[in-house]
Amino acid sequence: MILRTVTLTAVLALGASALMAEEVRVYNWSDYIDEELLTKFEAETGIDLIYDVFDSNEVLETKMLAGGSGYDVVVPSGTFLQRQIAAGAFQKLDPEKLPNLANMWNVVSERTEQYDPENAYSINYMWGTTGIGVNIGKVRELLGDDAPVNSLELVFNPANMEKLSECGVHFLDAPAELIPMALKYLGEDPDSHDPDVIKRAEEVFAPVRPYIQKFHSSEYVNALANGDICVAVGWSGDILQSRDRAAEADNGVEIEYHAATEGAQMWFDQMAIPVDAPNPDAAHVFLNFIMDAENMAAASNYVYYANGNKASQDFLIEDVIGDPAIYPDEATLSNLFTTTPYPAKVQRVVTRLWTKIKSGT
């Protein structure tokens, strides 16, 4: 009897390991997919999906540069992707295995070529802008009906910020986006790599720093929806998710998202396959699944970010495709800017400046 049990266990273990061979490990941003898609992928392909999340490009990059992360698909943003390609962290995609590449949208892929020439290493997952989320009721109460909610004046003019500090303001803890924003406010080139120009960002932050409650890259989603804060400098889709949470809670909080009229940063999150991915074939299957028009639309309908998939637009709900905060019109689109990665020496200046802005030392 004991012998039979042992044999049975061995057979089961063998069977399990044969099944285990087909698995794909995906490392994506937190709150960034409709989880039903994950179940659907497993059901359609029979591949086991292991889905982990992160919340900062820096953490992902350190894993990539250390090597041996064990992931098959990762999702860095454009500038980070470019640097990691240069470091040799990714493998070229095999277009043969990705028939759904035909669905992609040239408006986006032309822009992502800046980071990944010919889009040889990555596909676009989502893209968005960095802008301002406001609790419109509270902001109008403090600043009057003509509050400059669609302008950087709202968050960089100390007179406005002093009043807004009463109800709470959060900024992203992301120097690569906040410093270009401050430079734009000064009328400088937001993509400047000149340390002297970059250091001018301090002139913008120093007078408003006392009125900023916190620098954090994810807390603002709930804080804005609950009414704990009334202004957040954050990512478009996050603020729109916060708008929806407030609407669902029916708590009288009304959130709006605005890309600043002075110009807002546009960013792209790209899916790529690490050079040492354990299962690149399954990774291609996953990318192809994501590029399916209906699947991509389901993801966008869930997270309120625009995607780089032309074919998916037929399946997008009106709330997404019809919202200029998500799919901007031609005029707004031409007003958006992109940035390029900082070289190591300049990155040091940026990080040091950011520490100084946040902590005063």
Partner 1 sequence: MMRRFALIAVPYLWLLLLFLVPFVIVLKISLSDTALAIPPYTPTLDWAEGLGSFFSQLDFENFIWLTQDDLYWRAYLSSLVIALVSTALTLMIGYPMAYGMARAPEEWRPTLMMLVILPFWTSFLIRVYAWMGILSNEGFLNQFLLWIGVIDTPLTILNTNTAVYIGIVYTYLPFMILPIYAALDRMDGSLIEAAEDLGCSRLSAFWLVTVPLSRNGIIAGCFLVFIPALGEFVIPSLLGGSGTLMIGKVLWEEFFSNRDWPVASAVAVVLLLILVVPIVLFQRNQQKQSEAET
Least distance (Å) between residue 261 CB and partner 1: 29
Which residue has tokens 């007003």? 335
Choose between 64 and 126: whose C-beta lies nearer to partner 1: 64
67 binds partner 1 (CB under 8 A): yes
Angstrom distance (rounded) from CA 227 to CA 229: 5
Sole window of 46-54, 146-154, 323-331, 347-355 interacting with partner 1 (rule: CB under 8 A): 347-355
The phi-psi region of residue 319 (left if phi > 0; otherwise alpha if psi is between -120 and 50; otherwise beta) is alpha
Calculate the CA dihedral of residues 67, 352, 212, 210 and round it to 10 degrees.
160
251 binds partner 1 (CB under 8 A): no
Per-residue three-class SS string for 60-84: HHHHHHHCCCCCCEECCEHHHHHHH
Q: Which residues of 214-226 are buried (b: 16+ CB within 10 A; e: fewer)?
A: ebebbbbbebbbe
Choose between 167 and 333: whose C-beta lies nearer to partner 1: 167
Angstrom distance (rounded) from CA 302 to CA 296: 10
Q: Which of 20, 87, 102, 159 binds partner 1 (CB under 8 A)?
A: 87
92 binds partner 1 (CB under 8 A): no
Least distance (Å) between residue 156 CB and partner 1: 19
Per-residue binding letters, 260-299, with partner 1 (x by CB under 8 A): ---------------x------------------------
Choose between 34 and 219: whose C-beta lies nearer to partner 1: 219
With CB under 8 A, what is the number of residues at the site for partner 1? Answer: 29
Per-residue binding letters, 147-176, with partner 1 (x by CB under 8 A): ----------------------------x-
Angstrom distance (rounded) from CA 335 to CA 191: 14
Strand-pair category, 264-272 with 122-135:
antiparallel
